[in-house]
Structure 1
């Protein structure tokens, strides 16, 4: 049995692996909770409760509703400190830490940039230089002040907007998984949000490696890069190959480099395993911006992370394991994939053609035998 992010019908599997799957639309994607049959007394009620919580979190985090807590914060925080709900403040604090750790490659305070490029309304175009300069002036977590004693937030510049699009789905999955574990006693489940985020509780019956998840090929809708086994951890995937526009012969994707105010390039897709889905989302975004050598640095800085990276227009499957225990001060500011020395997977490990793997445990990832993504 392999559960992939893009499967709409229950796969043909042995009865002991059959799943109760409950799904719902939220955050512009399909959230699903899958619980193995026979492992819980009321899996449907548990899944529905988790999805209800995700609906509540969408209402809080969305920037597409003027009455959401985040939209209200964006409208008023430049005038003074605004108290926010405790979980939201904790998320803001974590995001600020991830921005620092990634050298600014991940940053939620980039709503102005997203709007300047037209991605907010899905009408992308290259902004004028003055418009981009103004958006850069009003972007960056360095302009966000956090008061832990009051759980309050203030913006130091007008026009700054928070946007949790890069981390919200993973955060919602973490909260839903916590509810399933604590309130409902669920010990085995897979939660996912479309093709970008997942969290695994335990493992499916009979397979202690974890939940098998197919990583979608960024260029081919029905192709897989390989199978990753996830257990009590989160997974985040970032790719811009299906959301882009062309400009002067270039494909410009929706994932922006917050440091330059320009779409990130040089990477086709990144998938990161982390202790939580929110962190996996944040770090996959940062790894996409930083490139393959940046992903390696992140796994050195945080040994709990693992990463699978497909450099743009790469044609060989490579392996460069992260070296646990090594530390680096910060992720590199720029890191073209071609700068990374790599060696191919050997035939005994299986696989060829296209990926880089950092700090992935042996047996935790099975690449596809052949990947062809020439454009």
Structure 2
């Protein structure tokens, strides 16, 4: 996913010197945690939170053969495999989102990413036979989840789970949970690459306030479009401009539609607000594929979700912005 639009900013009434910032590279990006500089034990807390993210990368990544997800991909067609409790709950949640979005979101799209070369490259347009084979191995109906025994099984070899579209948000949620367990009441903003984030509580010194997050213009990244104001809210952004390649005069983005096997032609970006960062991450991918009409229907049925579409407008500096389920006090346009 192109994760570059939103940019967390300190609240207007709280200078950056009031914040402790700790960051670390992980999951092909970098994660940063911001909390009050005067938080007792704040440095140790931030380090523990970032350690959680490191541990989850080791579990979830498909770029290491010894990760739990890679071992699952290699062996689950042979029979049921018991997985760690948190991972099982994540898989259940991902499958539920896939069902709710009519298959627009699907964690088994890893075979398609391999076919198109977005996984370890080279990027390419697959021939018809290769694409048909990848499509045959794609679809969450190939998964067998057994909650009683906490096992996962594939119904055929070659199924590839890839949690890249939800893993960053999940890691941020787990880090946020650690902060809520701190002995001193603590608020924090935790983001991964500035596009997946969770705003916990209010910024330091702003009782009842919200964390400010600038929404950038994907057509002119130096220009802000507006500001999100978030409290106890997850956010995720998807777009295809960051990872793509050109072939025979056409640009192919890396967001693949699991229903067709093809790269999707979607908006410049979709930002989703949700109760958790994991849910926001997954739904931003799904909404990119579903488009505005289906997203509007989904949000109507799920009032806890909000979405912001940024599409081509009259000029790069005047894109079209469409919102669904976003309250006036959550998002304001910059003049």
Coarse TM-score class (shorter-chain normalised): over 0.9
Q: Is the 8 A contact 2:10 2:212 kept in 1?
A: no
Cα deviation 1:3-41 (Å, max 9, x = unaligned): x9557x989975587210000000011100000223x21
Distance 1:54 1:28 in 2: 12
- Superposition CA RMSD, Å: 2.3
Q: Distance in 2 between matches of 1:220 and 1:58?
A: 32
Deviates more, 1:63-72 or 1:288-297: 288-297
Q: So what's the TM-score if we normalise by structure 1? A: 0.83
Aligned equivalents of 2:253 and 2:15: distance in 1? Answer: 42
Q: Provide closer, same or farther for how the CA distance between residues 216 and 353 of structure 1 changes in structure 2, counting only shifts above 3 A.
A: closer
Residue 337 of structure 1 corresponds to none
Contact 2:309 2:323 in 1 (8 A): yes
* Deviation for aligned residue 1:228: 0.6
Give the match for residue 135 of structure 1. 134
Pairing 1:145-294 to 2, within 5 Å after superposition: 145-204=144-203, 205-206=205-206, 208-294=208-294
Residue 330 of structure 2 is aligned with which of 346, 364, 373? 364
Counterpart mapping for 1:329-340 below 5 A: none
Greater relative CO (CA pairs within 8 A, separation 6+): 2
Using the size of structure 2 for normalisation, the TM-score is: 0.93
Q: Please tell me whether the aligned partners of residues 190 and 201 of structure 1 are also in contact (alpha carbons under 8 angstroms).
A: yes
| 1:61 aligned partner | 60
- For the 8 Å contact 1:16–1:37, the answer to whether it is kept is no
Runs of 5+ consecutive residues of structure 1 not aligned to the other structure:
318-350, 370-375
Distance of aligned partners of 1:73 and 1:356 in 2 relative to their CA distance in 1, 3 Å threshold: same
SS where residue 262 of structure 1 aligns?
Answer: coil
**Cα offset, 1:366, TM superposition:** 1.5
Corresponding residue of 1:43: 42
Matched residue of 2:320: which SS? Answer: coil
State the SS of the aligned residue for 1:235.
Answer: strand
Q: What corresponds to 2:320 in structure 1?
A: 354
Distance 1:82 1:258 in 2: 25
Q: Which has the higher strand share?
A: 2
Residue range with higher mean Cα deviation, 212-221 or 122-131: 212-221
- 5+ residue gaps, structure 2: none
Q: Is the 8 A contact 2:214 2:225 kept in 1?
A: yes
* In 1, Cα distance between equivalents of 2:194 and 2:179: 21
SS at match of 1:126: coil
Which deviations, in whole Å up to 9, do the C-alpha atoms of 1:270-320 show, x marking residues without a partner?
A: 000000000000111101111111221221121100010113x23499xxx
Q: Measure, in 1, the Cα distance between the counterparts of 2:243 and 2:229.
A: 27
Q: 1:185 to 1:142 in 2, by over 3 A?
A: farther
Could you tell me how far 1:199 is from its partner in structure 2?
0.2
Are residues 278 and 15 of structure 1, via their aligned partners in 2, closer, same or farther at CA, if it must alter by over 3 Å? closer
* Shift of residue 182, structure 1, vs aligned partner: 1.2
Residues 123/207 of structure 1: CA separation in 2 closer, same or farther (3 Å cut): farther
> Deviation digits for residues 98-151 of structure 1, max 9, x if unmatched?
000001111111110000000011431111111010000001111000000100
* Counterpart secondary structure, 1:259: coil
Q: Which residue of 2 aligns with 1:52?
A: 51
Structure-2 residue corresponding to 1:109? 108
**What SS does the corresponding residue of 1:308 show, helix, strand or coil?**
strand
